[in-house]
Structure formats: structure tokens, C-alpha cells
């Protein structure tokens, strides 16, 4: 039956990455639909970050297709795009939120400039407009407007992470890739960020892929889960079904090893 949108935003098939004899990910495939949040879970070394890096092109995959339905309406294989076009896609229609905010922010420029920079990269030139957009996004991620001219260095970890999110969302991406977005944050700060992320994803109709080892985070943010082990997807399905009735021995082990997922 039809669910309104006729094709996936992202369609991944047979993604492979090896480091010498070591398999980082093997034959990973999935579809991501508009407005959907996909969680990728598994323990350290399971290949989940490699998948994300292969999608964003940060790491070159050895094989597979990554088909993306662009805003313009055509379908492109991201792995085969010429470099300038791939970079432009990453700056406009995609966003990448790194686990460590330092990897996604420019620490030497102000918070406002961090957010405004992505707009300028797209050709925005009007200073007032850029500053207004930056201020509006800082407010949306709950950073006080009077911090706009401060350097990210002076922010707490949670604030830096929120700044990184604002920097990504200012260009209204359609797809956001997030690697452990709440990793390394205090539990109280995590809850706030989770609430913020969920609200933004829902209000903006974003699609997102979230890599996390935290099953509680996955439960609250993701519609669907992929469980990875040793580079392969061992189980996939509806988030609450995978967590409450896991089928694969490894998923069962993962779920039963947590106190309260």
C-alpha cells in the first residue's frame, strides 16, 4: 500500500569497506525514507561509524551503491559524484554531526560565525541576514543570544554539541548523519539534547541516521534500528520491536547487557 512518499531518500546497497584483511563493514544495505530516523547500534568496533563515514565520503568505501534522491528530483550515486558536487551536497542537503564537536566546529571563530559560515558558503552575503539567521539558530538550540560573539572554546561540551547542530541545520539539510551525538555528555545534558534533537527532527521533517552505542538514546530517537556486529547488519526492524523482542543472539546479548534500555 502507498504511504504517501513513493521512494526512499537514501538507498544503500552492498556497502563494503576493508582495511587490509580487516573487514570494517560488509554488504550493508538499507533504505531511509523521508522523515525517518534510522538508528545504527552495536558495540565499539562493530563498524557503525565506518558506515556513516562511507556515506558522507569521509572514508572511501570499497564497493556498493549509495543512491540519494536530491531536492532537485534526480537520483545520484553519492560514491560516484564528482568531488565538487559531492562537497556541495554535503554542505547543502546533508549535515554531519560528529561525536566530538571539535571535529565539526571551527574553534578559532565565534559561535555566530560557525553558524553563519555555512550560509556564506552557499552564497549568502548580507551580513545582517546572516547574523539574524545565526541568532535564530542559536536560540533554537538553546544557546543565549549574548554568547553569539564568544568562541566555542568558552562553551561547555553540551553547548558545543548544540552549536554544532545549529551549524548543520542552518542550511536546512534534508538528511543529517550523526555519530554518537550525545556521547561524552552528562546524563542531564543528554536528556536536554535528546529532547531538542527529537523536536527538531519532527518539526523540520528531517531524515537522520544516528550511530549510537546507547540503546536508550536509540529507543527515544530512532524509528528503525540496524544492529551491527563485526561489520555486518545482524538484525533490523522497528526500534521497539528490536529492543523488546530481539531475534538474533547478538541483539539479545546486547539488549540483555544493559540495565534499562
Partner 1 sequence: MSDPALEVSGLDKHFTLHVQGGARLPVLTGASLRVAPGECVVLSDPSGAGKSTLLRVVYGNYLAQGGKVLVRHRGAMVDMAQASPRLVLDVRRHTMGYVSQFLRVIPRVPALDVVAQPLRDRGQAPFEARARARALLERLLIPERLWTLSPVTFSGGEQQRINVARVFVADYPILLLDEPTASLDAASRLVVVDLIREARRRGVAILGTVHDAQVRGEVATRVRTLASAEAA
Task: Give backbone dihedrals phi and psi of 124, rounded to 5 degrees, phi first.
Answer: -65, 135
Contact region for partner 1 (CB under 8 A) — 41-49, 152-160, 163-171, 195-203? Answer: 195-203
- Residue of 167, 161, 169 whose CA lies nearest to 185: 161
Is residue 65 a contact residue for partner 1 (CB under 8 A)? Answer: no
Count other C-beta atoms under 10 Å from residue 139's C-beta: 13
198 interacts with partner 1 by CB under 8 A: yes
Q: Which residues are 117's β-sheet partners? A: none
Query: CA geometry: angle at 44 spanning 177 and 28, to 5°?
Result: 55
Among 173, 224, 229, 233, which residue interacts with partner 1 (rule: CB under 8 A)? 224
Q: Is 247 in the site for partner 1 (CB under 8 A)?
A: yes
| 1 lies in the site for partner 1, by CB under 8 A | yes
Contact status: 194 vs partner 1 (CB under 8 A): yes
Is residue 147 at the binding interface for partner 1, with CB under 8 A as the rule?
A: no
Nearer to partner 1, 155 or 250 (CB): 250
Beta-carbon contacts of residue 195 (< 8 Å; ≥ 6 apart): none
211 or 234: CB nearest partner 1: 234
Residue 256 contacts partner 1 per CB under 8 A: yes
Contact 175, 95 (CB under 8 A): yes
The Cα-based distances of 4 to 7, 10, 59, 237 in angstroms read 9, 16, 34, 20
237 is a site residue for partner 1 (CB under 8 A): yes
Instruction: Report if residue 154 touches partner 1, rule: CB under 8 A.
Output: no
86 contributes a contact to partner 1 by CB under 8 A: no
Please choose, out of 51-59, 64-72, 85-93, 241-249, the segment that lies near partner 1 by the rule CB under 8 A. 241-249
Stretch that binds partner 1, among 19-27, 39-47, 133-141, 240-248 (CB under 8 A): 240-248
Sheet strands side by side (includes 175-179): 94-97, 175-179, 207-211, 37-41, 224-229, 232-238
Q: How far is the CB of 122 from partner 1 (least distance, A)?
A: 29
Is residue 232 involved in binding partner 1 (CB under 8 A)? no
Phi, psi of 228 (to 5 degrees): -115, 145
Please check whether residue 213 is in contact with residue 42, taking contact to mean a CB–CB distance below 8 angstroms: yes
CA–CA separation, 209 vs 146, rounded Å?
Answer: 32
List of residues contacting partner 1 (CB under 8 A)? 1, 3, 33, 36, 191-192, 194-195, 198, 202, 219-220, 223-224, 237-238, 240-241, 244-245, 247-249, 252-253, 256
Amino acid at each position: 500500500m502507498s504511504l504517501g512518499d513513493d521512494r526512499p531518500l537514501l538507498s544503500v546497497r552492498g556497502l563494503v569497506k576493508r582495511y587490509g584483511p580487516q573487514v570494517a563493514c560488509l554488504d550493508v544495505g538499507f533504505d531511509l525514507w523521508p522523515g525517518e530516523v534510522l538508528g545504527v547500534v552495536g558495540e565499539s568496533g562493530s563498524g557503525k561509524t565506518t558506515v556513516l563515514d562511507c556515506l558522507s565520503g569521509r572514508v572511501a568505501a570499497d564497493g556498493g551503491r549509495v543512491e540519494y534522491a536530491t531536492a532537485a528530483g534526480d537520483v545520484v550515486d553519492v560514491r560516484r559524484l564528482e568531488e565538487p558536487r559531492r562537497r556541495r551536497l554535503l554542505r547543502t542537503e546533508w549535515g554531519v554531526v560528529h561525536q566530538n564537536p571539535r571535529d565539526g566546529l571551527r574553534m578559532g571563530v565565534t559561535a555566530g560565525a560557525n553558524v553563519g559560515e555555512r550560509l556564506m558558503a552557499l552564497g549568502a552575503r548580507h551580513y545582517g541576514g546572516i547574523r539574524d539567521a545565526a541568532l535564530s539558530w542559536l536560540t533554537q538550540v538553546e544557546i543565549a543570544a549574548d554568547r553569539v560573539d564568544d568562541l566555542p572554546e568558552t562553551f561547555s561540551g553540551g553547548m558545543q554539541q548544540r552549536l554544532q547542530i545549529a551549524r548543520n541545520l542552518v542550511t536546512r539539510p534534508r538528511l543529517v548523519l550523526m555519530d554518537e551525538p550525545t556521547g561524552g555528555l552528562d546524563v542531564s545534558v543528554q536528556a536536554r539534547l535528546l529532547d531538542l534533537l527529537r523536536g527538531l527532527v519532527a518539526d523540520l521533517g528531517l531524515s537522520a541516521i544516528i550511530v549510537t552505542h546507547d540503546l536508550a538514546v536509540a529507543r527515544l530517537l530512532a524509528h528503525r534500528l540496524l544492529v551491527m556486529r563485526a561489520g555486518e547488519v545482524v538484525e533490523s526492524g522497528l526500534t521497539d520491536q528490536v529492543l523488546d523482542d530481539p531475534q538474533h543472539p547478538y541483539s539479545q546479548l546486547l539488549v540483555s547487557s544493559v540495565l534499562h534500555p
